[in-house]
Amino acid sequence: MLITLPDDSVREYPDGVTPLQVARDLSPRLGREALVAKVDGEVWDLVRPLPGDCRLEILTFSDEGGRLAYRHSAAHVLAQAVKHLFPGTRLGIGPAIADGFYYDFDTEHKFTPDDLPAIEEEMKRIIKADYPFERREVSRQEALEIFKKLDEPYKIELINELPEGVAISIYRQGDFLDLCAGPHVPSTGYLRAVKLTSLAGAYWRGSEANPMLQRIYGTAFPKASLLEEYLHRLEEARKRDHRRLGAQLGIFSLQEEAPGFPFFHPKGMILRNELEQFWREEHRRAGYLEIRTPVILNRSLWERSGHWDHYRENMYFTRIDDTDYAIKPMNCPGAILVYKSEQHSYRDFPLRLAEMGLVHRHEKSGVLHGLMRVRAFTQDDAHIFMLPSQVEDEIQGVIDLVDRFYGLFGFKYHVELSTKPENAMGSDEIWELATSALRRALEAKGMEYKVNEGDGAFYGPKIDFHLEDSLGRTWQCGTIQLDFLMPEKFDLTYIGEDGQKHRPVMIHRVVFGSIERFIGILIEHYAGAFPVWLAPVQVKILPIADRHHEYAYKVRETLVEAGVRAEVNDRNEKIGYKIRAAEVERIPYMLVIGDKEAAEGTVAVRERGKGDTGSAVLADFIGRITQEIKERRS
């Protein structure tokens, strides 16, 4: 058979050769590091014979497909260990996820953190035994008989829901059998560093109508050093958790009376207002006009927009004067009504309407998470109406704007292009036209991007910006969605050069994404130590004794007049304690005031992360900090 490799070279091998044999032939190191293979685009087992002439790629842990298979194999080992230690346990599902894996169990035993070390030890024993992962395809009837005998009702439910004609496969390692499409690494001995990390409850199939199962999370790496690095990042993430820091720093709180609806405190409002001020400045420079639209709009509008049919389960509703209304989950219909309020000419284009719009979405309680997943949030939306000939330039302009925003905070980012989903409105031709325009704009900017097939919005394809924080985690924030359909549904028109009515093209886009979520990301990115321009308190003035209070308040007054946010700590405490308290608050600058400073009109400056930086004339310090604020240094 002829095997085409990733570099397009072709090699001949005997029939029945496996990917593992090919990997070892290509390179001893590749043979050692190989985990699974990609055969004509499909990922499958290394020890599964190749079907004939094909394109072959060997995947290692550095490849996403390799990592997923590695951790999926670890999930099977976890399930085997639990079955050994807790007989009678019934199995749910056990997929690989970002940075790890989990498995769901139905058992009378209530798992606690104290169980995890024992389960880990059993997993290590199974790994040491080096059981091969053996794949076997079976008929639907045989699969049902196998899992009925094993008393696995959840597996039987999954089998019954598989479409007719789909190949059903099972995997065995030692005495453990599981329903699984695969692929897996060749044997349990391929697993090296495994760690169970946490417990959670999870409804079967994600539905509250189903039984609550117990979920065990874990992770796996081919080297102990990689696991140690990951656990260090995990611990650092716990320290930076925005929910803990948000409460500690007085930024926001979450109350039982309003689950999923965050409360912003005075310091949080300072942070929020600084972000919004920056947003407004940049948008004015980029030619945007700001609007504001109502939060509650008539049902007929949402039926016309398509949200009623495609998004209703995520919406809140009310009745006014015996008429149905919806609380807006998106800002676009309001912006469209603003556009329709007057007739437009081609000379008005591109028309860029921006809005800090409050939206509400019905999220299930189980997915709410601090500021990252809420039920009410503010989108920094904009809707751009334009001529078809302006589409690519406008998309490039939005890309440049996003780049300026993320660059200010020091974020790296990558880009993904999402295409037509199953529940999409509109024809394939319209979607191809829109998707091609997004592709051309990305390529014109020389940007690398990943394609997410079928992940677009129901009304158009989109470009998503995934930023990377200081811990290497990625967050989806900015979005550009190209829409040929809403202008059609709302009969949007403009008068062209020929004096006739024409249909505009529309772009939906956000940069922050959600102000609330972006603040949560910033809290964790900076671990609460915000750049000076964002810090709710920029300077803390620390008088050493009561006799220094008068001068301390004069310093504060001078700073405030210069536009600097400053506070005085006049509590009756030792100066060392005041300094430590300010460090806990992540204050960028501390000004220590004693006899010398009061007599000379100076301040002793302490800078966050640097400590004592010496004495300074107050006017000089003000000049320095105000310049830092003006430049929005990160």
Alpha helices in 150-188 (DSSP H): 153-161
Asked if 329 and 302 count as a contact pair (C-beta separation under 8 A), the reply is no
For CATH 3.30.980.10, the residue range(s) in the chain are: 65-227
Q: Does 596 qualify as catalytic in the annotation?
A: no
Residue 122: which residues within 8 A CB-CB, separation 6 or more? 81, 84, 85
Asked if 221 and 230 count as a contact pair (C-beta separation under 8 A), the reply is yes
Q: Does 310 qualify as catalytic in the annotation?
A: no
pLDDT of residue 39: 94
Q: Which of 45, 135, 180, 332 is catalytic?
A: 332
For residue 479, report the phi and psi dihedrals to the nearest 5 degrees: -145, 140
Please give the mean pLDDT across all residues of the chain. Answer: 93
pLDDT of residue 131: 97
490 secondary structure, DSSP code: T
How many contiguous H segments (helices) and E segments (strands) does the chain have? 20, 33
For CATH 3.40.50.800, the residue range(s) in the chain are: 539-630
For CATH 3.30.930.10, the residue range(s) in the chain are: 252-292+345-526
For residue 623, report the phi and psi dihedrals to the nearest 5 degrees: -60, -40
Average pLDDT of the residues in 168-178: 96
Q: Over 80: is that where the pLDDT of 236 sits? A: yes
**Three-class secondary structure assignment of 229-241:** HHHHHHHHHHHCC
Angle at 25 between CA 23 and CA 26, to 5 degrees: 65
Whole-number Å distance between alpha carbons of 514 and 410:
18
Q: Tokens 């949030």 belong to which residue? A: 377
Q: Which of 383, 509, 525, 556 is catalytic?
A: 383
What Rg do the C-alpha atoms of the chain give, in angstroms?
30
pLDDT of residue 274: 97
For CATH 3.10.20.30, the residue range(s) in the chain are: 2-60
Asked if 362 and 317 count as a contact pair (C-beta separation under 8 A), the reply is no
Q: Which of 67, 76, 360, 462 is catalytic?
A: 462
Alpha helices in 572-617 (DSSP H): 575-584, 595-600
Fold entry, domain 539-630 = Rossmann fold (3.40.50)
Q: Does 439 qualify as catalytic in the annotation?
A: no
pTM of the model: 0.81
Burial class (CB in 10 A: 0-12, 13-18, 19+), 243: middle
Q: Does 379 qualify as catalytic in the annotation?
A: yes
The CATH number, out of the four listed (3.40.109.40, 3.30.980.10, 3.30.56.10, 2.60.40.1180), of the domain defined by the range 65-227: 3.30.980.10
Residue 283: which residues within 8 A CB-CB, separation 6 or more? 290, 352, 354, 382, 401
Q: What is the CATH number of domain 252-292+345-526?
A: 3.30.930.10
Top-level CATH class of 2-60?
alpha beta
Strands 289-290 and 351-360: parallel
Q: Does 361 qualify as catalytic in the annotation?
A: yes
Angle at 506 between CA 503 and CA 509, to 5 degrees: 175
Q: Does 38 qualify as catalytic in the annotation?
A: no
Residue 574: which residues within 8 A CB-CB, separation 6 or more? none
- Six token digits for residue 200: 């959670």
pLDDT of residue 458: 74
Whole-number Å distance between alpha carbons of 275 and 283:
12
Q: Does 255 qualify as catalytic in the annotation?
A: no
Q: Give tens-digit pLDDT for 85-134.
A: 999 999 999 999 988 999 999 999 999 999 999 999 999 999 999 999 99
Cα distances (Å, whole numbers) of residue 598 to 377, 453, 557, 589: 47, 67, 15, 18
For residue 119, what is the enclosing H or E element?
Answer: helix 116-129
Closest-CA residue to 60 (of 189, 221, 279, 203): 221
Chain CA centroid to CA 567, Å? 35
Q: Over 90: is that where the pLDDT of 366 sits? A: no
Buried b (16+ CB within 10 A) or exposed e, 112-145: eeebbeebbebbeebbeeebbbbbeebeeeebbe
Q: Give tens-digit pLDDT for 597-627.
A: 999 999 999 999 999 999 999 999 999 999 9
Q: Which of 214, 379, 481, 538 is catalytic?
A: 379
pLDDT of residue 98: 85
Q: Which of 38, 71, 361, 420 is catalytic?
A: 361
Q: Over 80: is that where the pLDDT of 459 sits? A: no
Q: Residue 178 — pLDDT band, cuts 50, 70, 90?
A: very high
Q: Give tens-digit pLDDT for 487-526.
A: 988 999 999 999 999 999 999 999 999 999 999 999 999 9
